[in-house]
Amino acid sequence: MINDKINEKLGRIIIASNYLPISISKEKLNGDSEISFDNNGNSDSLTEDIITQIKISHEPNPVESAVNSLLNKGEIQDFLWVGWPRCDVEEQEIPTFRNAIKNYSEQFHPLFLEEKDVNNYYKGYCKNCLWPLLHYQLNFVKLDPVWWESYKAVNEKFANEIVSQWKVGDFIWIHDYHLMLLPLLLRERLPPDSLIGYFFHVPFPSYELFRILPNRKELLQGVLGCNLIGFQSFEYLRHFRSSCARLLDLEVHPKGLAIFDEKSSHFIKLQVSPIGVDYSDLINTLNLPIVTQRVQKLKEIFQGKKIIIARDRLDQIEGVPRKMEIIEQMFSEHPELVGKLIFIQIYEPTVEEEDETEEQKQLHRTVNEMVGRINGRFGKLNFNPIEYINRKVGLDELTALYRMADIALITPIRDGMNLASHEYVVCQKDSYGVLILSEFTGAARCLGGGIIVNPFSKNEIMSAIMEALSMKIEDRKLKHQINYNYVMANTSSFWAKRILVDLNEINQQKEKDHKFVPRVSFKEIKQAYKSSRKKKIFLLDYDGTLTPLVRHPKLAFPSKELLNTLNKISEDPLNQVYVISGRDRLSLENWLGELPIGMSCEHGSFLRLPRSNPEDKWIDNVKSCESSWKENVLSVMQDFEDRTPGSFIEHKQVNLTWHYRNADQDFGEFQSRELIAQLQSVANKYPLDILVGKKAIEVKPFGINKGEIVKLILSQNLDTDFIICIGDDKTDEDMFKVLSNCDSSYSIKVTSDSKEPTKAKFTIEDVEQVLDLLSQLSE
């Protein structure tokens, strides 16, 4: 149980979101007055000859409700909320407003934005670019380079503000698409073990949509500065993971993503954590006398009528015009409902009227005209089929409306969760109202008792309404109980606790796994190398170690720097250099054949000794192995090559390799798993090994690997007191294993993640550092 996992109080939580959960208004009055604050944080501020009266009111927010609940239960030490207070403030007024907010709550830390930031960052990039894209509204996506620069600048401001407030032991919890760059900015400024969580309240679109953004990679890289990223549903998680794999070429794991680059080296856990509501506020409000009276009055007004309620924001994604069309068509096709069915549409503005965009104003006009037309067509003197509420609705009025409604019609075109559905369920405890829910909401994955509909299908929604109107009480009870049980168990505090527990477990796991594979010390290796008086052995992988990984094997040419370095090292007669690779013999001969070095190709199938003459034969380690398996394996691989665009087969002298680095990321991974399954049946008939490399599946004779070649080399060079072995993938682990008990050896894994499991004794960042180390040893 999650409750049992928090056995000690967690540290302070720093919450970062676009805005604080408060509403601020100010009025300018003529007169003289001193600055003062009342108990609610309201103040009067003197600016020249004008008094500015600041009024602060609370804005309900499930995140705040959740952390307050945890704080009251003693499960977190405290929280600090960093966000924009959503008010226009002159520079000289900032100190006064800051004090007013602090006096209202010391847990709210305001970050003030200039008007240009509000216009470009918020109204521009956030609301006119990211918001429509994330909600699949491509027709409304607008792009402006100025907006992007402002988005970056505001994320920088948030980073600087949070860093100034951060203390050791703090958890940072970032919310939503406004701050996608913030995690990486914090990761670069704070200690490496800082814990950062992120939650997407909105949907995350498919890769095909997200990729249209010019700054798509920067946004993904920004979010990936986190330790943990939460999503409302698995669908959104899957889309995010796919975008990261395809756009950033990241390694996908069942539980998350692995980051290996110069900016960030860590594992990011991805999890599905659907948000909930704090039902106690709703229940307490329902029990207020004023609400009870309001419910009774509404029942009297609408006596004998069925009530459908919908609550939406002034936004295209809510699909309100389509909903109006459906209601009009229902009354037209079912005239018996006229006078017996009331549709209450709450259409809450998201901004002040003067700040509405042209699209919002047009949407407003469209809905107003439709309401007027429908009421004019089907209404009577004492009856309007649509009751239209176009304003913000207080909690007492909202709970009363939810309580007396027979049906909730929640059919947005796309929504991250839509907590109106949860609120309706709570308010319907003993009334058993029916919930009709769009399949494109996160709530549709959670509330199994709802009637799930396609919001684009008018007939489907009308059928759902008719089903709800005629549903038997037993069925309504059953469906409602399913929803009610879920909402009661999955509250906002449960949601927050689950995320913070996982962050805490990451912290505890870090302490438990404190055994990092240390970075190699150039100084130590150089000292050991210079102190050696016997033979010195160099065992070097090729791809990903001496040369960067490339999209096609034939493009992995050695650099001049590499060739010169290997040649200089080989000039010392006590040095023996071996390149031990999965490459075919011809490629190694063409690239490295002029050097006086040893080479092993095809994972140990063949070996050429150092300082051999070009005409000397390679040692054949597989001559006793049968090759009849190749025809069967090739047939299977060719089938997958044909069915996987971008993949190809590499024919080596002995081994066969199927490469899918150039294939579609997700499809390639899927096909690789299928290929391995089919190859296993072949391997059961022949003595074969199946190697899983980086975007490649290789089949080779059993018992032939790089470790066996290392054993052979060491058996021929017993008078050795310095061994260095460097490699980057799973096939090199066989070499590291052989050297694990050899005191004079330095086995080194090429990886940016010092925690990546390996049998190597040390790690090194990348190919560039490998070449730097070898260059220093060659001096």
**661 phi/psi in degrees, rounded to 5:** -60, -30
**372 phi/psi in degrees, rounded to 5:** -60, -40
**106 phi/psi in degrees, rounded to 5:** -70, -10
Instruction: Give yes or no for a contact between 28 and 52, defined as CB atoms under 8 angstroms apart.
Output: yes
| Catalytic-role residue among 278, 541, 543, 664 | 541
Question: How many Å apart are CA 481 and CA 489, to the nearest integer?
Answer: 12
Beta bridge partners of 601: 606
In which order are the strands placed within the sheet that holds 256-260? 108-110, 79-84, 13-19, 171-175, 195-199, 228-231, 265-272, 256-260, 251-253
Is 541 annotated as catalytic? Answer: yes
Coil/strand/helix, residue 534: coil
Q: Which two tokens stand for residue 580?
A: 């031990």
The identity of residue 624, as a single letter, is S
Angle at 400 between CA 342 and CA 274, to 5 degrees: 95
In which order are the strands placed within the sheet that holds 606-608? 619-620, 606-608, 598-601, 575-580, 535-540, 720-727, 745-750, 762-764
Question: How many Å apart are CA 266 and CA 254, to the nearest integer?
Answer: 15
Query: Alpha-carbon dihedral of residues 167, 173, 177, 179, nearest 10 degrees?
Result: 0
Question: How many Å apart are CA 709 and CA 715, to the nearest integer?
Answer: 10
Coil/strand/helix, residue 441: strand
> Among candidates 502, 499, 509, which has minimal Cα distance to 755?
509
Instruction: Give yes or no for a contact between 661 and 637, defined as CB atoms under 8 angstroms apart.
Output: no
Question: How many Å apart are CA 34 and CA 36, to the nearest integer?
Answer: 6
Question: How many Å apart are CA 220 and CA 254, to the nearest integer?
Answer: 19
Handedness of CA 434, 293, 426, 442 (dihedral sign): positive
Question: How many Å apart are CA 161 and CA 181, to the nearest integer?
Answer: 14
Question: How many Å apart are CA 344 and CA 367, to the nearest integer?
Answer: 13
Coil/strand/helix, residue 724: strand
Q: 3-state DSSP helix/strand/coil percent for the chain, to nearest 5?
A: 45, 20, 35
> Among candidates 687, 731, 734, which has minimal Cα distance to 713?
734
Instruction: Give yes or no for a contact between 766 and 751, defined as CB atoms under 8 angstroms apart.
Output: no
Place of tokens 């993949």: 647
The residues, any chain, with a CB within 8 Å of residue 201's CB and separated by 6 or more, are 175, 176, 232, 275, 416, 417
The catalytic site residues sit at: 541
